[in-house]
């Protein structure tokens, strides 16, 4: 098949997806971070379908995804008309962040325009927006000519999908869902979320691959951590990823400190016999670190933070399918570039295990 006919075919499929969104349907699509479960941001019934399909509480707000303006490869493009229907006011800082990072894995929270549906903001007076970089997401959004709300395309509290097959597995037997296939997601963890709605300081709500230092270096804007400006508990209803349990596999998952696999096992009361141990590709094998009653198997993981992020959910999903009794991951090293994956791993540990539905899973 020539590349032309491939392009033509995907374009036909994308047109179908656009029609499905216009008809109030759900469409799963690839972004550079994870796959999203999309619906028309102006259709309250379609938005309700997202919440019921995911099993997500209706007060957890969604991100609106927008197309980048035409010719977004130019140095300065005009994002103001793109955002005007959604946000009440657009500060200088907001425009700096947008020009530096959109389209890309950065979500910004603004005071919302009054026309933005309460169904999507969970009743809050703010709205989260991002322009994803994946070409299929961009084509879908450009052709749709409107905002698309899209949470990660997984059931609530579970591991986010990074391939079309993951999305299909997630909703198999539950929903006949149209899934646009854009291959494996490059970034692998969800977008960084920055709250600009308080008007004075920009606050990090969810760490991702775009870090506060990178933002400072590219825009001169200082990003504050929630604890520096507000009581952490005030954020809980806002960001579902800020609840303790999230992104969780069904197999129990624990972290181990460098070289302390056995300690991690002894802290786990029901040590069983089959344990998958993730080890950094930069480190020597654990085989000398044996345990008489345990069968270890090593899984090599990248020691570079970007590659680790891009493979994290893939590894968790694959290991979860393999019938292990316990999965051990090394604690990520200190350093801001690891904050995104550390955050996801800690919440995944907390929510993991067969009884995860009985704790504060979200």
Residues that bind ligand TXA (CB under 6 A): 31, 33-34, 36, 60-63, 105, 107, 109, 121, 124, 126-128, 132, 150-152, 190-191, 193, 205, 238-241
Which of Mg ion, ligand TXA, none does 191 bind, CB closer than 5 to 8 A by kind? ligand TXA
Report, in Å, the least distance between residue 155 CB and Mg ion: 10
Q: What are phi and psi of 86, to 5 degrees?
A: -115, -35
Which of Mg ion, ligand TXA, none does 60 bind, CB closer than 5 to 8 A by kind? ligand TXA
Q: Which of 50, 328 has the CB closer to ligand TXA?
A: 50
When CB distances to Mg ion are compared, the closest residue is 152
Q: Which of 121, 356 has the CB closer to ligand TXA?
A: 121
Which of ligand TXA, Mg ion, none does 239 bind, CB closer than 5 to 8 A by kind? ligand TXA
- What's the Cα-to-Cα distance from 284 to each of 18, 253, 316, 347, rounded to whole Å? 50, 22, 22, 28
Q: Which of 107, 356 has the CB closer to ligand TXA?
A: 107
Report, in Å, the least distance between residue 133 CB and ligand TXA: 10
Report, in Å, the least distance between residue 259 CB and ligand TXA: 34
Report, in Å, the least distance between residue 47 CB and ligand TXA: 12
Which of Mg ion, ligand TXA, none does 340 bind, CB closer than 5 to 8 A by kind? none
Q: Which of 33, 361 has the CB closer to ligand TXA?
A: 33
Which of ligand TXA, Mg ion, none does 207 bind, CB closer than 5 to 8 A by kind? none
For residue 293, what are the β-bridge partners? Answer: none
Sequence-separated (6 or more) residues with CB below 8 Å from residue 23:
none
Q: Which of 41, 265 has the CB closer to ligand TXA?
A: 41
Cα–Cα dist 170/166, whole Å:
6
Q: Which of 29, 256 has the CB closer to ligand TXA?
A: 29
Nearest to 160 by CA among 25, 1, 354, 310: 310
DSSP character for 245? B
Question: Does position 152 bind Mg ion by CB under 5 A?
Answer: yes
Question: Does position 361 bind Mg ion by CB under 5 A?
Answer: no
Report, in Å, the least distance between residue 122 CB and Mg ion: 14
For residue 195, what are the β-bridge partners? Answer: 109, 203
Q: Which of 43, 152 has the CB closer to ligand TXA?
A: 152
Q: For the chain, percent helix, then strand, then coil, each to nearest 5? A: 35, 20, 45
Cα–Cα dist 176/90, whole Å:
39
Cα–Cα dist 252/325, whole Å:
7
Report, in Å, the least distance between residue 262 CB and ligand TXA: 36
DSSP assignment of 83-149, as one string?
HTTTBS---HHHHHHHHHH-SSSEEEEEEBPTTS-HHHHTT-SEEEEE----HHHHHHHHHHTS-EE
- What's the Cα-to-Cα distance from 183 to each of 34, 103, 160, 193, rounded to whole Å? 11, 19, 15, 24
Which of ligand TXA, Mg ion, none does 61 bind, CB closer than 5 to 8 A by kind? ligand TXA
Report, in Å, the least distance between residue 344 CB and ligand TXA: 11
Both tokens assigned to 242: 């800020």
Q: Which of 101, 324 has the CB closer to ligand TXA?
A: 101
Report, in Å, the least distance between residue 308 CB and Mg ion: 19
Looking at 251-294, which runs of residues are DSSP E strands? 253-256, 274-280
Question: Does position 162 bind Mg ion by CB under 5 A?
Answer: no
Which residues in this chain contact Mg ion in the complex, by CB under 5 A?
152
């Amino acid at each position: 098949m020539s590349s032309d006919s491939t392009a033509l075919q995907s374009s036909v499929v994308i047109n179908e997806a656009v029609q499905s969104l216009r008809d109030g349907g759900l469409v799963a699509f690839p972004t550079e971070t994870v796959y999203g479960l999309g619906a028309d941001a102006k259709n309250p019934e379609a938005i309700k379908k997202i919440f019921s399909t995911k099993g997500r509480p209706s007060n957890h707000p969604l991100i609106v995804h927008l197309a980048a303006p035409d010719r977004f490869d130019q140095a300065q493009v005009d994002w103001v008309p793109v955002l005007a229907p959604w946000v009440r006011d657009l500060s200088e800082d907001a425009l700096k962040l947008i020009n530096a990072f959109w389209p890309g894995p950065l979500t910004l929270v603004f005071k919302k325009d009054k026309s933005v549906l309460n169904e999507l903001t969970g009743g809050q007076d703010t709205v989260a927006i991002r322009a994803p970089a994946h070409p299929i997401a961009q084509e879908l959004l450009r052709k749709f000519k409107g905002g698309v709300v899209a949470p990660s395309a997984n059931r609530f509290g579970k591991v986010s999908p990074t391939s079309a097959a993951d999305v299909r597995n997630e909703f198999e037997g539950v929903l006949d869902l149209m899934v646009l296939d854009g291959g494996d997601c490059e970034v692998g963890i969800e977008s960084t979320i920055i709250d600009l709605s308080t008007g004075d300081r920009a606050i990090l709500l969810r760490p991702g691959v775009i870090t506060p230092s990178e933002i400072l270096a590219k825009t001169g804007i200082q990003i504050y951590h929630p604890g520096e400006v507000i009581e952490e508990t005030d954020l809980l209803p806002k960001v579902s990823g800020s609840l303790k349990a999230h992104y969780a596999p069904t197999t129990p998952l624990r972290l181990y400190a460098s070289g302390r696999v056995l300690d991690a096992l002894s802290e786990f009361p029901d040590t069983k016999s089959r344990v998958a141990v993730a080890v950094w590709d930069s480190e020597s094998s654990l085989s000398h670190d044996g345990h008489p009653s345990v069968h270890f198997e090593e899984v090599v993981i990248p020691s570079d933070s970007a590659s680790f992020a891009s493979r994290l959910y893939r590894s968790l999903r694959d290991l979860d399918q393999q019938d292990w009794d316990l999965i051990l991951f090394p604690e990520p090293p200190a350093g801001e570039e690891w904050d995104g994956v550390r955050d996801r791993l800690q919440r995944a540990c907390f929510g993991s295990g067969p009884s995860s539905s009985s704790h504060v899973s979200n």
